[in-house]
Chain A
Amino acid sequence: EPEVTQTPSHQVTQMGQEVILRCVPISNHLYFYWYRQILGQKVEFLVSFYNNEISEKSEIFDDQFSVERPDGSNFTLKIRSTKLEDSAMYFCASSDQVNEQFFGPGTRLTVL
Chain B
Amino acid sequence: QKEVEQDPGPLSVPEGAIVSLNCTYSNSAFQYFMWYRQYSRKGPELLMYTYSSGNKEDGRFTAQVDKSSKYISLFIRDSQPSDSATYLCAMNTGFQKLVFGTGTRLLVSP
Chain A residues near B (Cβ < 8 Å): 4, 6, 31, 33, 35, 41-45, 48, 50, 55-56, 58, 89, 91, 95, 98-106, 108
Q: Could you tell me the distance in whole angstroms from the C-beta of B87 to the nearest C-beta in chain A? A: 12
Cβ-based interface call for B14 (8 A) = no
Within the complex, which residue of B88, B96, B103 is in contact with A31, where a contact is CB–CB below 8 Å?
Answer: B96
| Cα distance, A56 to B43, chains bound together (Å) | 22
B94 contact set on A, CB distance < 8 A: 98-99
B46 contact set on A, CB distance < 8 A: 100-103
| Cα distance, A44 to B4, chains bound together (Å) | 12
Q: B44 and A103: CB pair below 8 A? A: yes
Q: A58 and B97: CB pair below 8 A? A: yes
The 21 sampled A-B contact pairs (Cβ below 8 Å) are A33-B96, A41-B102, A42-B101, A44-B100, A45-B97, A48-B96, A48-B97, A56-B97, A58-B97, A98-B95, A99-B49, A99-B94, A101-B46, A102-B46, A103-B36, A103-B43, A104-B43, A105-B42, A106-B41, A106-B42, A106-B43
| Cα distance, A58 to B3, chains bound together (Å) | 15
> For chain A, what secondary structure do more than half of its interface residues adopt (helix, strand, loop), or is it mixed?
strand
Interface residue total, chain B, C-beta cutoff 8 A = 24
A41 contact set on B, CB distance < 8 A: 102
| Cα distance, A43 to B100, chains bound together (Å) | 6
Chain B residues near A (Cβ < 8 Å): 32, 34, 36, 41-46, 49, 51, 88, 90, 92, 94-103
| Cα distance, A6 to B49, chains bound together (Å) | 24
Q: Could you tell me the distance in whole angstroms from the C-beta of B76 to the nearest C-beta in chain A? A: 20
A89 contact set on B, CB distance < 8 A: 41
Q: B103 and A42: CB pair below 8 A? A: yes
Q: Which chain A residue has the least Cβ–Cβ distance from B51?
A: A99
Q: A91 and B44: CB pair below 8 A? A: yes
Q: Could you tell me the distance in whole angstroms from the C-beta of B100 to the nearest C-beta in chain A? A: 4
Q: B96 and A91: CB pair below 8 A? A: no
